[in-house]
Amino acid sequence: MPCFTDLEINKGQYQLGEIIEAVVTVDNTLSSRNVRRIKLKLKKTIKIRGRFEHSWMTVDSSEFVAGIKEEGCNIGEKVTRHMRLQVPKKQVLHDIPHGSTDVDVRLLLTQPTTIIGHNIQVTFSVEVFVHHEGFMEKGKGSHAEIPVTIV
């Protein structure tokens, strides 16, 4: 049976260094497995569109720039966790998209906030992951996501 997850955040726009206050509700009353842990993460997605050898191409790359985790819950429980996640004051690009130029990388490193342009987009989302116990319970688990703007 399923485990239901609800994610609420205090607002949709944050500044560098600001705290994202999230309320995560996990309803495990119908599940047959304990929840091992609950993770809250801030994901940064970069899309670069450019000309490469006479044709246009788009390169996507995503990485988690911040994250915290909490204990889970038992079978039959419904829990609410108040979680606080800080937006990093400085962001470093760990995964350089394949095919990007030095100019693209320098621009992305100096612009750690949301950008919505024609050729370059940097977007953010707050994501919650609910991991269950069990041999076959691998991967990201139950998942909810809310887009946010970093200014």
Rounded distance between C-alpha atoms, residue 36 and residue 34, angstroms = 6
Beta strands (DSSP E) in the chain are 4-9, 13-14, 19-27, 35-52, 55-73, 78-86, 115-116, 120-132, 142-150
The answer on pLDDT for 95 being more than 60 is: no
Q: How confident is the model at residue 132 (pLDDT cuts 50, 70, 90)?
A: confident
Cβ burial, residue 105 (10 Å; 0-12/13-18/19+): middle
pLDDT for 139 equals 55
To the question of pTM greater than 0.85 for the whole model, the response is no
Predicted confidence at residue 104, as pLDDT, reads 58
Q: What is the pLDDT of residues 53-70, one digit of tens each?
A: 777 777 787 888 899 999
